[in-house]
Amino acid sequence: MEGERGDVVGIEVKAAATVTASDFKGLRKPSAASGKDFKLGVVLHDPEQTVPFGERMFALPISCLWA
């Protein structure tokens, strides 16, 4: 998603119980292409925990959409 000022946020949704670094493969390309405009990459997943996966990359519980 791209905001009015050019800020970019990438979101993926996984039904898996675990998230690995390879799940962020699709977010790394837009991150590299957008440079400093890439603000955040998120993989939404089933478990209720937030897990960092590098600079500006996080696995977040899908339930955060309703919080």
pLDDT at position 17 is 82
Q: What is the pLDDT of residues 10-39, one digit of tens each?
A: 999 998 888 999 999 999 999 999 999 999
List, in order, residues 6 or more apart from 27 with CB less than 8 Å away. Answer: 10, 12, 41, 42, 43, 57
Quote the pTM value.
0.87
Pairwise CA distance, residues 21 & 5, whole Å: 29
- Please give the structure tokens belonging to residue 33: 């292409």
Q: What is the pLDDT of residues 33-59, one digit of tens each?
A: 999 999 999 999 998 889 999 999 999
pLDDT at position 32 is 95
How far from chain centre, in Å, is Cα 31? 10
